[in-house]
Amino acid sequence: MERRNFIQAGWWAMALFAMGGTGCRGKQVAHVLSDDDEDMVGSHTAGAETWEPLIQDSVGKLLGRQNVVVQTGGGEMSLPLRKRICFAGVENKSAEEIGDFKAQIYQKVDTCINSSDSFEVINQRFVEAGLRQCGLRPDDLFVPNSRRQFVATMEKLEQPFDFLLFATITSGTTKSNDKNYQRDYLLTLELVNLEDGTADKESAEIRKGYHKSRLGQVKHYG
């Protein structure tokens, strides 16, 4: 009897250990990053470590060229008028699905522009409403007649603007025989001046290596 009880107790102990071990393996933990913590590097796709510097670099360079002080009248210097930008959206032409980063890229570009002294962005909801009323997609705005229709609609919504802004994400992939690969991410911003129709482009690029193991990283990049 004692031997049988001992065996049964042993089986129960093993079962509880197995259940506890499974629970530990399946448990997920998290922590809040502080401002000086580095972004996590995505192991399979681009993440915050890629998009954040691309946005800061491209927006800063583009607006730096367009940053012209406008006098509001008279010969005396006064506060500059902020030019209004209609941000038409982010188009993903890369090899990856960017998921929720698409909306975040839009918001981060929007925030970068609005933090400048010379430019401000029309609220995204007004832009979407204007496109719906015209039955247009963002890439239709490159057609002159469609663009004029959209501009007129935005004026009726009391949201006139001076520039159209388009953002495009592209990528290029280089693969090796050992299944390691490099992907070059390019964020391009195109700013169209409604007054004269001229366009200004700025791009920022980040190269990222993906490896099956740490050994692959050492092999390709030392």
Alpha-carbon distance 75 to 136, whole Å? 43
Sheet hosting strand 199-210, strand order edge to edge:
119-121, 83-92, 163-175, 181-193, 199-210
SS3 14: helix
Q: Quick one: DSSP state of residue 34?
A: P
Pair 104, 187: CB distance under 8 Å: no
Alpha-carbon distance 47 to 157, whole Å? 36
User: Which residues pair with residue 75 across a beta bridge?
Assistant: none
Alpha-carbon distance 85 to 193, whole Å? 9
Q: Quick one: DSSP state of residue 141?
A: G
pTM score of the predicted model: 0.76
* pLDDT tens column, 6-64: 455 555 556 555 555 555 566 877 666 666 666 667 676 777 788 899 999 999 999 88
* pLDDT tens column, 167-219: 999 999 999 888 889 999 999 999 999 988 889 999 999 999 888 866 555 44
Domains defined for the chain, CATH in brackets: 49-122+161-221 (3.40.50.10610)
Residues in Cβ contact with 92 at an 8 Å cutoff, skipping those fewer than 6 apart: 98, 102, 169
Taken in order 38, 39, 44, 47, is the CA torsion positive or negative? negative
In the block, tokens 């197995």 appear at 18
Cα dist from 215 to 10, 46, 47, 109, 221, whole Å:
43, 21, 22, 37, 10
pLDDT (0 to 100) of residue 152 = 97
Residue 6 has phi, psi (to 5 degrees) of -65, -40
* pLDDT tens column, 103-142: 999 999 999 999 998 899 999 999 999 999 999 999 999 8
